[in-house]
Amino acid sequence: MREIQLHNTLSGKLEPFVPQKPGEVRMYTCGPTVYDYAHIGNYRTFVFQDMLRRFLKLRGFQLTHVMNLTDVDDRIIANAAAAGKDIRGYTEKFVQAFFEDCKTLSIEAPEHWIRATDHIDDMVKLIQRLQEKTFTYSSEGSIYYRIAKFPNYGKLSKIDLTGIQAGARVDNDRYEKESARDFALWKAPKPGEHFWQTAIGPGRPGWHVECSAMAMKYLGETLDIHTGGIDLAFPHHENEIAQSEAATGKPFARYWLHAEHLLVDGEKMSKSLGNFFTLRDLFAKGYKPSAVRLALASVPYRKQLNFTFNSLRQAASGIERLRNFADRLQQGKFPAGKTEGMAARIVQAEQEFDEGLADDLNTARALAAAHELMRVANVAMDKDEFLQGDVAPARQFLATFDKVFAVLEDNDAQKLQALGYDSVQAGLSDVEIEKLIADRTAAKKMRDFAAADRIRKELAERGIILEDTKDGTVRWKRK
């Protein structure tokens, strides 16, 4: 079996993956900051780390995987205070939504879901260790990390440190690139905001120290893999390294894996551009969870993913074909016997699938292996050249495929119902489109142009382009 290669942000290279203990992987993923519903850009990262953990398990590794819920953060503290709620009261809705979303996207639960609010003591202890080693200083009730004392600062993100001023400080959890500065480990309380009374004084932890403390508590001082979105590499992960390695004197994480950005229609997703989507926005438009998962999963994680409604429709139709193929294998009647040719094609597909994933989790290659086998087998079936003895190995391949991709089970309708959506429409049928066009024409006749425009817009969102012709009829096509 081919050795697994992973791209390590730390070295900037592909490296063979060798965990510290043979057969065991200790992995940490920075989870969501639960001050809002997570968006599809976040889920790109979470689907990626899910595919990675599923592949490692398929390869027989025993996983200890930790994902945190960041429920202590500038925005949470401020929003909770503004809403007059305590932290748990404010975040609970978003935590539950996140768990539901993960389930809906078939993202496996990690071995440990943990929350920052349950680990304040561990964070305080880590800060004390850093204090003892004089990596810190205090100012106005806050405690800062002195980055000038950590010579390897910048080794992950390769940030340019020339011109940084010793003692220039930053309090925000999220600060801009190109501004490496001493960052807050512990923040003095602000009037009206939540704080903890601790051995290092009243206040609350900074975001970066949360992940260092929680990761090391569950996974030991050196992790095998640390994952996250690329936007976390600096400053968040850089600061995690600085804190953990200064405290322990050991490497913090051996492999750093970062998922690239997600774009929508080629542009950065933002609320002001109107191209910002949560999962629920997509489900409300009638898209299936499995299609969303596959659209996010099918682009290798180190490539930018350009998310479009067309890519969702393509994913939905790809799943449809795979599910039909699985049904055909299960229900079809095939001539007796077994063909050497088909057996070899199935072995080839298995190898290609495994090698694709071993090649830095090249999900596109693994997916193509499944589609290629399906194509060849369907052709053989049509010619009665696919035999009964080929069924079991082909089904075995699909089962292996689905251990990582997790899209074959036909359970979209149940999942959506569980979230309160009553219908599933991956795309509109011709009849549905004609019906909406007739409604629009009727609305125009009634001079209800607002209604007519709404219908045109809805169709456009579902990928249907209308063209009004001179003779008054309407032509339409799929985008």
Question: Minimal distance in Å, beta carbon 210 to Zn ion?
Answer: 7
Nearer to Zn ion, 7 or 258 (CB): 258
Q: Which of 396, 474, 399 is nearest to 435 (CA)?
A: 474
CB of 207 to Zn ion, least distance (A): 7
Q: Identify which of residues 104 and 243 has a Cβ nearer to Zn ion in the complex.
A: 243
Give least dist CB 84 to Zn ion, A.
28
Q: Which residue has the tokens 């969501």?
A: 32
State in angstroms the smallest separation of the CB of 232 from Zn ion: 6
Closest-CA residue to 66 (of 28, 33, 99): 28
- Per-residue DSSP letters for 274-306? T---BHHHHHHTT--HHHHHHHHHSS-TTS-EE
Q: 77 near 91, Cβ under 8 Å? A: no
- C-alpha R_g of the chain: 26
In angstroms, the CA 196 to CA 207 distance is: 15
Which residues, including other chains, have CB under 8 Å from residue 200's CB and lie 6 or more apart?
A: 124, 127, 128, 131, 143, 186
Taking the least distance from each CB to Zn ion, the nearer of 30 and 406 is 30
- Cβ closest to Zn ion, residue 6 vs residue 211: 211
Q: Burial code of 252-291, b = ≥16 C-beta within 10 A, e = fewer?
A: bbbbbbbbbbbbbeeeebeeeeebebbbbebbeebbbbbb
Helix (H, G, I), strand (E, B) or coil at 353: helix
- Report the interface residues with Zn ion, using CB under 5 A: 30, 211
Q: Which is nearer to Zn ion, 69 or 374 (CB)?
A: 69
CB of 110 to Zn ion, least distance (A): 14
Q: Which is nearer to Zn ion, 45 or 363 (CB)?
A: 45
Closest distance between Zn ion and the C-beta of residue 211, in Å?
3
User: Which residue number, 258 or 462, has a Cβ lying nearer to Zn ion?
Assistant: 258
Task: For the CB of residue 236, give the shortest distance to Zn ion in the complex, in Å.
Answer: 5
In angstroms, what is the minimal distance from the CB of 30 to Zn ion?
A: 3
Strand, helix or coil for residue 396: helix
Which one, 218 or 277, has the nearer CB to Zn ion? 218
Q: Which is nearer to Zn ion, 136 or 212 (CB)?
A: 212
Q: Of 41 and 427, which has the nearer Cβ to Zn ion?
A: 41
CB within 8 Å of 348: residues ≥ 6 apart: none
Tokens of 289: 């969870």
First-to-last alpha carbon distance for the chain, in angstroms, is 42
- DSSP result, 243-255: HHHHHHSS-SEEE
> Smallest distance, Å, CB 157 to Zn ion?
14
Q: Which of 372, 258, 364 is nearest to 321 (CA)?
A: 372
Of the pair 66, 377, the CB lying nearest Zn ion is at: 66
Size (the chain), residues: 479
Which residues have C-beta within 8 Å of that of residue 58, sequence separation ≥ 6? 400, 403, 404
DSSP state of 118: G
177 CB-contact burial (10 Å; exposed 0-12 / middle 13-18 / buried 19+)? exposed
CB-side neighbour CA atoms (13 Å) of 373: 31
Name the minimum Å distance from CB 183 to Zn ion: 13
Q: Which is nearer to Zn ion, 31 or 356 (CB)?
A: 31
Closest separation between CB of residue 266 and Zn ion, Å? 29
For residue 189, cis peptide bond before it (omega within 30 degrees of 0): no
| CB of residue 212 to Zn ion, shortest distance in Å | 8
